[in-house]
Amino acid sequence: AKVKMAGMSKEELMKHVYVRCTECDDFITDKILRLEGKPYHGHCFFCQGCQKPLANTSFVPPTRDRPDVFCVDCYQERFAHRCTICQAQILPEKGQAESKMLVFLEKDYHVGCFKCKDCGCNLREGNAEGNSCFPFQGALLCRPCNQTRVAECTRPD
């Protein structure tokens, strides 16, 4: 085998020893990063949002519906749910891996934003006050506030 390799060109030898980077197609002669079995140079494996290298940081891998790779910050900026009340992103709390949110009538809410528009009480089911959500004309309301608004609307002039 040594005799055969001795007669090879540098390019032929490289093909037998190294793999090519999926991104740039150059040979990888140092650390190989792999994503879904595909090899990358460290400097070729980067966030599709901010273009920062992802070799030594957390990232969100691609999916069938989203083929791009993102750093966690860019992923959250682009894809995190937004609260219907405050419009802020619903993100994990510091030190947590997952975010907490409520979904009501196909709308997303921060847990702390899911409260009665009139009196401000918490509307999560099973809370100490026994309140749950009774929407009225687009407003999230507790039962007593809902009843007050309905009574005002149905009161004869």
30-88 pLDDT, tens digit per residue, is 888 888 888 888 888 889 899 998 888 888 888 888 888 899 889 888 888 999 999 99
Tokens of 133: 């959500």
Q: What is the mean pLDDT of residues 6-11?
A: 65
Q: What is the pLDDT of residues 78-124, one digit of tens each?
A: 888 999 999 998 988 887 777 888 888 899 999 889 999 999 888 87
Q: For residue 10, give both structure tokens.
A: 């540098």
For residue 39, what are the contacts with CB-CB under 8 A and spacing of at least 6?
19, 20, 21, 22, 28, 32, 33
- CA distance linking residue 138 with residue 54, whole number of Å: 43
Q: How far apart, in Å, are the Cα atoms of 37 and each of 21, 33, 34, 98, 144? A: 11, 9, 5, 27, 58
Q: Is the pLDDT of residue 126 over 80?
A: no
pLDDT tens sequence across 131-142: 688 889 989 998
pLDDT, position 131: 67
pTM over 0.75: no
Q: Can you give the pLDDT at residue 2?
A: 46
Q: Alpha-carbon distance 123 to 116, whole Å?
A: 6
